[in-house]
Amino acid sequence: MAFWPIVIVKMREKLENILEKVYLKPEQADIAYLLSLDDSRQQEEIFVFADKVRKKFVGDGILLRGIIEFSNHCRNSCFYCGLNKNNRKLQRYRLTQEEILRSVKFLAEQKIKTVVLQSGEEDGLDSFWLAEVISRIKREFDLAITLCVGERPQDDYKLWKNSGADRYLLKIETTNEKLYTSLHPQMSFANRLKCLKGLCDLGFQVGSGNIIGLKNQTLADIAQDIIFFKSQDLDMIGIGPFIPHSQTELSGHGHGDVGLTLRTLALTRIVCRNAHIPATTALASLNKDYRLQGLRAGANVLMPNFTPMDYKELYEIYPGKKCLTEFADTCVSCMAQKATAINRYIDYSRGDALEKKVEV
Ligand code: SAH
């Protein structure tokens, strides 16, 4: 009878030790082991540890990044994404400068200090046109600008940086090169890495991230992704579950596991410490909204959507996207409520990259 509590105490100690070890000296095998723990009690212990690391390194504030999806044109045919060029059912759009500026004004009126300009990877995107959008936003508003428009020549990145862009998001999606190659026809893993390096060299605050639950992805792959995030010293890391879309090669594959996505987020927080990590829209778009769980497992960013109402549903990277019919100001107040519910608050500052501390 007295035996079981002792065993439980030992198991507890062990998990704590491994978490501590991953925090101090992350290794792929330990991370993969922790990723495998789907027992609710053990999982909760990982979340609690991550939440402490979050509190220590980025505090209780939740940063808001307003996103504007300005075009759904794409030249690529990624096996998971609804914007892939072979999806002929999708009506394509590109916002005008005026439409973008109008959304930016609305976003600034909500006191948000970062705009994320996202699109598919489109050949038709004129780099000078985007440079003009960036300059106009910088002239008219006091905002940080994050770009997320995929792989481009270094000269384009330079032009946009010189026009005033502050940050760039380019998700690696998976660091398993073989898996990456199998999901991204005509694309190259080496070029994605080259682009990430080019962005760092230009002085952008750089973000990357992965998708959880891709077909043939292993826990070792995900652990390797986390080690990669650390090695790149990333300022922002986006992690979301895979959500199948009917007009893609992976339409028949099940969605990514929520628990595994949350554990990945938590372990990324433990390993990368002060990076900005969003509770992604993808986490909100499964059977229920899991963003609150994300915020409790290490996340410190939310991304309200400021794409104009008429276009929102056309940016269908996956189906069931959350908050398609709400106006973004409603989303912001809903997010403030979520923050209060977990004793956190919305931080209306720019939320620039934090210095990488060596503190233990
Ligand atoms: N073209 C841009 C932005 C693409 S959309 C770029 O390459 O950076 C933004 C992100 O949505 C992608 O990086 C990918 O991680 C995610 N995404 C696309 N399809 C998805 C799906 N079916 N499930 C989950 N995430 C998806």
Q: How many CA atoms lie within 13 A of 170 on its CB side?
A: 23
Query: Which residue has its alpha carbon closest to ligand 1 atom 7?
Result: 150
Q: Which of 7-11, 37-41, 159-163, 260-264 has the lowest mean pLDDT?
A: 7-11
In the chain, % of residues over pLDDT 90 = 92
> Closest ligand 1 atom, CA of 238?
15
- The distance from CA 220 to its chain's CA centroid, rounded to whole angstroms, is 20
What is the model's pLDDT at position 209? 98
Burial (Cβ within 10 Å: 0-12, 13-18, ≥19) of residue 92 = middle
Please give the full DSSP string across 147-193, using - where no structure is assigned: EE-----HHHHHHHHHHT--EEE---B-S-HHHHHHHSTT--HHHHH
Interval between CA 161 and ligand 1 midpoint (Å)? 23
Per residue in 208-231, pLDDT (tens digit) is 999 999 999 999 999 999 999 999
Please indicate whether residue 171, judged by its CB atom, sits closer than 6 Å to ligand 1: yes
Interval between CA 175 and ligand 1 midpoint (Å)? 15
What is the model's pLDDT at position 1? 46
pLDDT reading at 349 higher than 90: yes
Handedness of CA 69, 329, 338, 350 (dihedral sign): positive
Please indicate whether residue 211, judged by its CB atom, sits closer than 6 Å to ligand 1: yes
For 12-347, CATH gives: 3.20.20.70
**Cα(37)–Cα(250) distance, integer angstroms:** 26
Query: Which residue has its alpha carbon closest to ligand 1 atom 4?
Result: 120
Interval between CA 160 and ligand 1 midpoint (Å)? 21
In DSSP terms, 276 is beta-bridged to 236
Quick one: pLDDT band at residue 100, thresholds 50, 70, 90?
A: very high
Mean pLDDT of 95-123: 97
Per residue in 257-311, pLDDT (tens digit) is 999 999 999 999 999 999 999 999 999 999 999 999 999 999 999 999 999 999 9
Quick one: pLDDT band at residue 331, thresholds 50, 70, 90?
A: very high
Query: Which residue has its alpha carbon closest to ligand 1 atom 18?
Result: 81
Per residue in 165-200, pLDDT (tens digit) is 999 999 999 999 999 999 999 999 999 999 999 999
Burial (Cβ within 10 Å: 0-12, 13-18, ≥19) of residue 40 = exposed
pLDDT reading at 4 higher than 80: no
Mean pLDDT of 32-60: 98
Domain spans of the chain, in order of start: 12-347
